[in-house]
Structure 1
Amino acid sequence: MDTLIGMSTPSDLERVESRIIELVRNHLSVPATDIAESCRPVLHEVVEQAVTSSEGGKRLRARLAIAAFDAIRPHAGPETRDAMVDLACAIEVFQTAALVHDDIIDESDLRRGKPSAHRALAEATHSTAIGRGLGLMLGDILATMSIAIAEHAASCLHHPHALDSAFLHMQRDVSVGQVLDLAVELNPLDNPTQLADASLNVFRWKTASYTTMAPLQLGLTAAGIAPDRAAELAERIGRPVGVAFQLADDLLDVIGYTKATGKPVGGDIKEGKRSVLLADALTLSDAPARDELIAMYEAPQRDAQDVRRGIEIFTGCGAVDRSRERISALWNEARTAIASSGLDHDAQQTLIRACRMFIPDSCL
């Protein structure tokens, strides 16, 4: 796949990975003489955790942004394309910031198979409270850093002001999405239709906004497409792909495994997370299973036996199959949007391949 025209090559992916670490270190460089000696070890831990938190991942957002750019400008000069790579890196740095904050909100111990940032910082400082506080500040630092990286990259690309605005709107949308994500947890379980609608709305704001819509908008705009048209295409293509991506992520919590996802299987069930998958299970289950699910999710906590039983209900009642149907329908919607985009054939194929990376085969 990487050898096809318009897709990120392995060298591109290596450049994104190494460039992110370089950018993070550069932006966190503070002269030691300006820091009180007794506080330097803690700052050092935060800097190193910023690097650790920024490592790994599939870099799907960066790859999509670069692919969107390449779809329109497959022969861009090296300086221009370097700027596009930096803009793509800015999205990834912002994602790291969001994940750091997410893990604090969710009280998650793991991220990508390693201790989450606030847990690692708590261990380093021997204080849960200080670790949580440092995690909050690390997320803020990374979010601010991502803006600086994006602004510098945008100055070397088409429509720099529109790129700056799109990047800031992305951050606003994710913040709104996080508020809505917490609000969904207050939804009662006796109205699964309402729960499904609210959860799907969160997916658009919290996930699709910066996972697929913003990368597409930034890549297309940076390549020279008029900002309004780029935003419209990003909405039509990116929204269904981003929602499908989140549905797939929730589905993998049930049908996946820890090595592949970097998270414990059934973690969402153990946390009692409200989701579309849960809403579908409540709709499709018989009365005894539905009552069992409601009691399970309304309990103060859930154990390994609850997780196993929850997975059994999700699978047996047809909720897993319903989730696959939702994902397939959204993927078809995205492909239709690409086909009607007015872009040439090669550009369309580039976007199809890039968007397809967000949907695992096991979820279709």
Structure 2
Amino acid sequence: MAGTGACPPGGRRGQWCREPGRAVTVQTSAGVRERLAGHRERFDALFAEYFTAVGGQALPRSSFVPEALDLVRDMSLRGGKRLRVALVHEAARLVTDEAVAGADAAAISIELLQTHGLIHDDIIDDSPVRRGAPSVYYAYQERFPERPQTALGLAVLAGDLAAFLSVRVLLDAPVPAPLRQAMAAVHASAAADTVIGQFLDLERDFGPVPGREALDTVSDYKTARYSLLAPLRLGLLAAGGDPDAHGEELARYARLVGVSGQMRDDYLDLFGDAALIGKPAGSDLRSGRRSYAVCAVLAAASGGERELVQEALDAPGCPPETVARVQDIARRHGVDEHLRAEIRRGAESASAVAASWRGRWRDDAVEFFERLPLWGAQRAL
């Protein structure tokens, strides 16, 4: 991971810094992992308790309703890094190191919104598996093999259930009504932006090959606004902060981290080790998706090379041999190196934005936000 540049503003010994001609320092990666793991362990128990409480509420006599709730519960508890949960609590820690009423409700809410997105994404993508088990959509297909429209409708409704539960959590939060309303407004805005992002994501694969700005806009709307910006704003609100006073820089941080993270995922999809990422390389190519990596190959390829890449995109399910040929084309043109450099650049820019928060917010929480994007980038490189 050699590179050029300097430590971000506020950089200190032990942080993620780069010096000319030297590798990125990774001394703090364990600290980020430990913080994320601590949030995840506590939250998973809390999330399970939440679903137990919801299941204990009076429900109409039905087999479909509890089954849908069980599927939403299973999808929600199935795993994940719980990054959104960590961001809510770490954003609250920017303001105070005391326990913050409403932070748990905000974390549950944003994870339920994530569940909604996963269920609907799997419908849109016709994905049979999610996190090592059947997707909700395919669980319903197995339940109703002779009634595909019923299976589709029930999967849509299960995703909707997760979405509306996510709003109700905030409206029931143990905080004053004005704060509940403010958090619900952040949540609703993030949810709407995410749906817009899904439209943009589907549109990306039609018409001319999208440029960098268009790809960044998709990443911003589909991922960054609900996975990064909304948790930041919710955590600050819960702790008594005013996210609107710092809206532009919070949005910039979220966009930089979101774009860098999506580019990392797209890089790993094409160039990652299948044994490490848990799936064969090239799933975006085989699905006809114009990811950052695929678009970069199309932009760099020439003549017959470009035709081969385009044919692979246009023929869903291309064989591993075709994926390998596209990888060779990409490496010949330095696409892999270019993407790694862009991932690093975005992560460093995000770290610099967070470093500028020193003096305004608590240093140990600021440090987490400085380290996080660089830790994420390092996982790809």
| Bin for the TM-score computed over the shorter chain | 0.7 to 0.9
User: 1:257 Cα shift?
Assistant: 4.4
Q: In structure 2, which of residues 151, 164, 172 is the aligned counterpart of residue 131 of structure 1?
A: 151
Q: Name the TM-score, length of structure 1 as normaliser.
A: 0.86
1:173-322 → structure 2 map (5 Å cutoff): 173-189=193-209, 194-257=210-273, 260-299=276-315, 301-322=317-338
User: 1:164 Cα shift?
Assistant: 1.8
C-alpha distance after superposition, 1:74-108 (max 9, x if no partner): 1x13xx35x31221121111111101100110111
8 Å Cα contact 2:194/2:222 also seen in 1 = yes
Which amino acid counterpart does residue 352 of structure 1 have in structure 2?
Answer: E
- The structure carrying a bigger helix percent of its residues is 1
Task: For residue 53 of structure 1, give the secondary structure of its aligned residue in structure 2.
Answer: helix
Q: Write the distance in 2 (CA, Å) between the matches of 1:182 and 1:21.
A: 33
Q: In structure 1, which of residues 305, 329, 333 is the aligned counterpart of residue 345 of structure 2?
A: 329
Q: Name the TM-score, length of structure 2 as normaliser.
A: 0.83
Q: In structure 1, which of residues 43, 48, 72 is the aligned counterpart of residue 70 of structure 2?
A: 48
Structure 1 position 114 matched with structure 2 position 133? yes
Worse overlay, 168-177 or 17-26: 17-26
Runs of 5+ unmatched residues, structure 1: none
User: 1:153 Cα shift?
Assistant: 2.9
User: 1:163 Cα shift?
Assistant: 1.7
Worse overlay, 253-262 or 14-23: 253-262
User: 1:124 Cα shift?
Assistant: 2.4
Q: How many residues align?
A: 349
Structure 1 position 22 matched with structure 2 position 49? yes
Runs of 5+ unmatched residues, structure 2: 1-27
User: 1:2 Cα shift?
Assistant: 10
Q: Write the distance in 2 (CA, Å) between the matches of 1:196 and 1:29.
A: 48
User: 1:11 Cα shift?
Assistant: 4.8
Q: Write the distance in 2 (CA, Å) between the matches of 1:264 and 1:21.
A: 32
8 Å Cα contact 1:118/1:132 also seen in 2 = yes
8 Å Cα contact 1:64/1:355 also seen in 2 = no
| Percent sequence identity over aligned pairs | 29
Seen in structure 2, the aligned counterparts of structure 1 residues 353 and 85 have a Cα distance that, compared at 3 Å, is farther
Structure 1 position 348 matched with structure 2 position 366? yes
8 Å Cα contact 1:27/1:145 also seen in 2 = no
C-alpha RMSD of the superposition: 2.6
Task: For residue 286 of structure 1, give the secondary structure of its aligned residue in structure 2.
Answer: coil
Q: Write the distance in 2 (CA, Å) between the matches of 1:143 and 1:263.
A: 29
User: 1:35 Cα shift?
Assistant: 1.8
Structure 1 partner of 2:105: 86
Task: For residue 343 of structure 1, give the secondary structure of its aligned residue in structure 2.
Answer: coil
8 Å Cα contact 1:121/1:131 also seen in 2 = yes
Q: Write the distance in 2 (CA, Å) between the matches of 1:4 and 1:282.
A: 38
Q: Write the distance in 2 (CA, Å) between the matches of 1:49 and 1:63.
A: 24
C-alpha distance after superposition, 1:115-156 (max 9, x if no partner): 111111211233433222211111100011111112333735
Q: Write the distance in 2 (CA, Å) between the matches of 1:177 and 1:133.
A: 22
Q: Write the distance in 2 (CA, Å) between the matches of 1:131 and 1:257.
A: 35
